[in-house]
Structure 1
Amino acid sequence: MSLTLYSHPLASFCHKVLIALYENGTAFRAETVDLGDPGSAAAHMERWPVGKMPVLFDGQAKRVIPETSIIIEYLHEHHPGPVALLPTDSEARLQARLWDRFFDLYVNVPMAKIVTDRIRPQGKSDPFGVAEARDLLDTAYGMIDGQMSARHWAIGDEFTIADCAAAPALFYAAIVHPFRDDQHHLARYRNHLLERPSVERVIAEARPYFSMFPYRDAMPAHYLNG
């Protein structure tokens, strides 16, 4: 088995790549990175000095691949499967890349800002930054609701890299900053994502770690109990 994914089962960006791997039944070895463990953290910094997860290692090519979108594109080119997460049509591919970045930058990142602020040391919180993050999520939610008014998946009828990004971002974001009651298309899309087998598998694998999530108290009971 040539592929190893270094990740953490609670991390939303790691979920994005796991969804892509599970969609195509790609064989890989999973290794959990524990940044609280000096040895594990040092080994991961050796792989990718930025220290972010996930990171993919292709043992056959002797190559380290960081960054979620790059990992998924690498898998598409070098370890393809039955589900083409990058469309062949150039315009559709551009839209898939656009909405992939949208969910990463305008849903996942502000969601993470809100989550991590809850566990900052006393006196080190950033209420202004959290308010900005919530405002950004409000804008993003409105745009997604409009985008999904006439679509099955993020860019159309096919599941793509954009949906891999959307699923974990919206899963966590809806917990820390709930959708408005009138955002029916957004809620329908989030629910549709959660019914996807690859997404169900990722959430099931993360469930034992949900007790570590800073907003565990806001998680619906069925997320915790399955």
Structure 2
Amino acid sequence: MSLTLYQHPLASFCHKVLIALYENDTPFKSSLVDLLDPEEAARFSALWPVGKMPVLTDSGRDVVMPETSIIIEYLDRHYPGKVRLIPEDGDKALKARLWDRFFDLYIHVPMQKIVTDTLRPSGENDHRGVADARANLAVAYRMADDHFATQPFAAGDSFSLADCAATPALFYAGIVEPFDETHPHLAAYFERLLQRPSVRRVLAEARPYFHMFPYRSLMPERFFEM
């Protein structure tokens, strides 16, 4: 087994890559990273100085691969499975990459801004930044709801890289800024994602850590029962 994924089961961007791995039953070793442990954080920083999870290593090809979208494209190229996460058709591939960026930048990042602001020391909260993040989510939700009025998956008819990105972004964003009652097409799309075995497996692995999520009290109880 040459692939190792350095990750934490609660981390949203790690979910994105785990879904890609589980979609294709790709063999890999999971290395849990505890960034609160100084020694472990230092070891991880030596691997990838930016210090952001996840990171994939491939001992068979002597590769260290960071950044979720690049990791998934690497897997699709060198360890392809039954689910092609980057469509072979060039135009469809561009659509998948576009919606991957959409979910990462316009839903995932604002969601993280809202969540991490709760971890700031008292008096250092960025109220304007959080308000802007919520406003950005409102725009993104509206755009996504329009898109999924006619599209079963982000890039069209097939599950792709973009849906790997969408799943954790919508999972956590829907807790801090719910969309289920206001954006029916987006909500229906999210329900389709939740039915995939890869997604259910990722959430099952994350469940023991849900108590660490700052907005735990707002998490729908069904997430603890899936």
TM-score by length of 1: 0.98
Name the structure 2 match of 1:64.
Answer: 64
- 1:12 shift after superposition: 0.6
- Matched with 2:33 is 33
Q: In structure 1, what is the equivalent of residue 124 of structure 2? A: 124
* Secondary structure, aligned partner of 2:65: strand
Q: Provide the C-alpha distance between the structure 1 equivalents of 2:182 and 2:172, rounded to a whole number of angstroms.
A: 19
1:89 partner amino acid:
D
SS at match of 1:150: coil
Q: Which residue of 2 is the match for residue 51 of structure 1?
A: 51
Q: What letter corresponds to residue 86 of structure 2 in structure 1?
A: L
Whole-angstrom CA distance in 2 between matches of 1:16 and 1:182: 25
Q: Is the 8 A contact 2:14 2:53 kept in 1?
A: yes
Q: 1:7 maps to which residue? A: 7
**Alignment partners' CA distance in 1, 2:92 and 2:163:** 13
The answer as to whether partners of 2:4 and 2:57 remain within 8 angstroms in 1 is yes
Query: Does the alignment pair 1:94 with 2:111?
Result: no
**Which amino acid in 1 is paired with 2:72?**
I
The offset of 1:222, in angstroms, is 1.5
CA distance in 2, matches of 1:72, 1:150: 26
Counterpart amino acid of 1:221?
E
The residue correspondences of 1:167-182 to structure 2 (distance < 5 A) are 167-179=167-179, 181-182=181-182
**1:182 Cα shift?**
3.4
| Amino acid in structure 1 at the alignment position of 2:81 | G
Letter in 1 for 2:74: Y
Question: Bigger CA drift: 75-84 or 203-212?
Answer: 75-84
Q: What secondary structure, in the 3-state scheme, does the structure 2 residue paired with 1:125 have?
A: coil
Note if contact 2:7-2:14 (Cα within 8 Å) is conserved in structure 1: yes
- Equivalence for 2:204: 204
Q: Distance in 1 between matches of 2:12 and 2:106?
A: 14
The CA RMSD over aligned residues, in Å, is 0.8
Query: What does the per-residue CA deviation read over 1:155-176, in whole Å, with 9 as the maximum and x for residues that have no partner?
Result: 2110000000000100000000
Alignment-derived partner of residue 136 in structure 1: 136
Aligned letter for 2:177?
Answer: H
Conserved 8 A contact 2:2-2:59: yes
What's the offset of the Cα at 1:127? 0.5
The Cα shift of 1:62 comes to 1.2
The one-letter amino acid paired with 1:70 is: I
Q: Could you tell me which amino acid in structure 2 is paired with residue 207 of structure 1?
A: R
Q: TM-score, normalization: structure 2?
A: 0.98
Pair 1:77-2:82 in alignment: no
- Alpha-carbon distance in 1 for matches of 2:195, 2:178: 19
Asked if the contact 2:111–2:169 (Cα under 8 Å) also holds between the matched residues in 1, the reply is yes
Match of 1:156 in 2: 156
**Matched-pair contact (CA < 8 Å) for 2:76–2:85:** yes
Secondary structure of 1:137's aligned partner:
helix
Find the aligned partners of 2:30 and 2:178 in 1 and give their Cα distance.
32
Find the aligned partners of 1:106 and 1:115 in 2 and give their Cα distance.
15
Paired residue type of 1:201? R
d(CA) in 2 for partners of 1:219, 1:6: 26
Q: Using the alignment, how far apart are the partners of 1:11 and 1:128 within structure 2?
A: 25
Counterpart in the other structure of 1:194: 194
Shift of 1:180: 6.2
CA shift digits 1:25-55 (9 cap, x unpaired): 0000000110000111001100110000000
Q: CA deviation at 1:225?
A: 3.7
Q: CA deviation at 1:151?
A: 1.1
The amino acid of 1:165's aligned partner reads A
Question: What is the aligned-residue identity percentage?
Answer: 62
Matched residues, number? 226
